Amino acid sequence: MFGLKTDWSLDVLPRYFSLEDYQGGMARWCPGCGDHGVLTAVQRICRDAQLLPEQTVCVSGIGCSSRFPHYMKTYGFHGLHGRALPVACGVKSRRPDLHIWVATGDGDCCSIGAGHWVHAIRYNMNMVVMLFDNNVYGLTKNQTSPTSQPGLKTNTHPRGAFLPPLNPSLTTLSIANVSFVAQTVDWNPPHVYATLKLAFEHPGLSFVRIFQRCPVFTPLVFEDAQSDPSLVMLLEDENGVTADAAGIKMYKNRVAHDPSDIDKAREIVSREDVLPIGLFFADPNRPRYEMMSSVGADTTIEEKLETFDKELDRFAI
């Protein structure tokens, strides 16, 4: 019933939620899976923002990462492979009061769900979209994903993936009405937390690509960047991701990047020699589809009946 605020003052709330109030049972991802850390970060953000669990909905597609809603103690929707975004947008459309988190994999979002991804960015409805990018299909056991690096040996391409990978953040930054794009890495929990928190606070669709290791099929895909922090490029700005010291002190390669500069954002996100993390782009003033789709959601039955009857006059004979 009460909680301590960070300044040690007592905050008496009618309801207070602790971390456990957002924890929906033991996560059944493999030990060492990057998804665990992201889950913890989201639960912390919910706790810090004291989100009402009943006002919070986690929506996902199908894949290992899409199990996410099951491990939250909020409302959840674990739907179809590739289709998290239409469902999430539908939930939001008439219920702008709900907080929405979307969990989607690189196959889920960038392959089977690619069409919805493009359009959801354009709809720009207020929600956080977490792309769990492990460069591979995990749940179906090691098939090539659209973000697999050439040469990655998978069950569908045993001699190595052939095509150049898709860059989801660059793609997103090229879609009309994009309003927020950030990247983070699962092995840096403070940075994950800070990035998702910023995403949560952004009004509009926040797209966060999370580089995430699959301990079984792609344990080493990010090894270079993990073992040599100089290969990670940290984006800094007063409006950008501001992780605490533990999250950034190892990164010497820092660049100032103004997140209102979309051209620069595209340039940086395209770099292949380093792995850039932080906020690439944010514009809080882009049109959000729910502003249109939720109009009239408070119409009463009496009003509906009256209007309906008037409408019949048009057809009356």
Partner 1 sequence: MENGQVTNGHDVEGSSEPKTIHNAIVEIVSDSGEGAQKAGQSFATIGAKSGNGVWTVEIIPAEIKPPARSRAGASGIRIRLGSEQITNMGDTADIVVAFNEQVLYGRIINDALREGTVVLLENKWASDPDEQIRDMYTTAVKDFRARGLIVHELAMHEACLEYTPKPQLGKNMFVLGMLCWIYQLNPDLALREIAAVFAKKSAAVIESNQKLFHGGVKFARENLTYCYTIPTMKTEQDLIVTNGNQAVGLGVMASGMEMVSMYPITPATSATHYLAGVYQKVGGFIHQAEDEIAAIGFAIGASYAGKTACTITSGPGLALKTEFIGLAVMSEVPLVIVDVQRGGPATGLPTKVEQGDLFAALYASPGDAPKVVMAAATIEECFHMIITARKLAEMFRTPVIVLTDANLATGQTAYPRPKATEEWMAPPIDQSPWPEGLAPYEWDKKTGLSRRPIPGQRGGEYVLTGLAHTKLSHVAYDPTVNQMSTEMRSRKIASLAQTLRPPTIHGDDEGDLLLVGWGSTIGSIEEAVDRARADGYKVSSLHLRFIAPMEPGLKKMFERFKRVMTIELNYSDPQGGFSGDPETARRAQLAQHLRAQTLHDVGYWSITPGQPLQPNQICQVIAKTLEEMGLAQRGAEVAHA
Ligand X SMILES: Cc1ncc(C[n+]2csc(CCOP(=O)(O)OP(=O)(O)O)c2C)c(N)n1
Name the site residues for ligand X (rule: CB under 6 A): 62-65, 81, 105-108, 132, 134, 136-140, 145
Residue 97 interacts, among ligand X, partner 1, none and using kind-specific CB cut-offs from 5 to 8 Å, with partner 1
**Alpha carbon distance 61, 28 (integer Å):** 17
Residue 24 interacts, among ligand X, partner 1, none and using kind-specific CB cut-offs from 5 to 8 Å, with partner 1
Residues 70-89 that bind partner 1 (CB under 8 A): 70, 72-80, 83, 85-89
Side chain identity at residue 5, one-letter code: K
**Alpha carbon distance 192, 183 (integer Å):** 9
Instruction: Say if residues 103 and 68 touch (Cβ distance below 8 Å).
Output: yes
Residues 137-166 that bind partner 1 (CB under 8 A): none
Task: Compare residues 8 and 308 and give the one whose CB is closer to partner 1.
Answer: 308
| Stretch 210-249: interaction string toward partner 1, x if CB under 8 A | ----------------------------------------
- DSSP 3-state of 41: helix
Residue 101 interacts, among ligand X, partner 1, none and using kind-specific CB cut-offs from 5 to 8 Å, with none
* Minimum CB distance to ligand X, residue 146 (Å): 9
* Minimum CB distance to partner 1, residue 263 (Å): 27
Smallest Cα–Cα separation from 177: which of 154, 149, 207? 207
**Interaction of residue 92 with partner 1, rule CB under 8 A:** yes
Residue 76 interacts, among ligand X, partner 1, none and using kind-specific CB cut-offs from 5 to 8 Å, with partner 1
**Interaction of residue 291 with partner 1, rule CB under 8 A:** no
- Spatial neighbors of 94 by CB under 8 A, at least 6 apart, are 293, 294, 297
Residue 278 interacts, among partner 1, ligand X, none and using kind-specific CB cut-offs from 5 to 8 Å, with none
The number of residues in the chain equals 317
Bridge partners of 131?
104, 209
Residue 239 interacts, among ligand X, partner 1, none and using kind-specific CB cut-offs from 5 to 8 Å, with none
**Interaction of residue 47 with partner 1, rule CB under 8 A:** no
Q: Which residues of 170-181 are buried (b: 16+ CB within 10 A; e: fewer)?
A: bbbbebeebbbb
**Alpha carbon distance 277, 191 (integer Å):** 9
* Minimum CB distance to ligand X, residue 145 (Å): 5
* Minimum CB distance to partner 1, residue 19 (Å): 15
Instruction: Say if residues 215 and 161 touch (Cβ distance below 8 Å).
Output: no
How many C-beta atoms lie closer than 10 Å to residue 215's C-beta?
A: 14
- Spatial neighbors of 262 by CB under 8 A, at least 6 apart, are 173, 178, 281
- DSSP 3-state of 218: strand
**Interaction of residue 57 with partner 1, rule CB under 8 A:** yes
**Interaction of residue 205 with partner 1, rule CB under 8 A:** no
**Alpha carbon distance 190, 251 (integer Å):** 13
Name the site residues for partner 1 (rule: CB under 8 A). Answer: 24, 52-55, 57-59, 62, 69-70, 72-80, 83, 85-95, 97-98, 115-116, 118-119, 292-299, 301, 303-305, 307-309, 311-312, 315-317
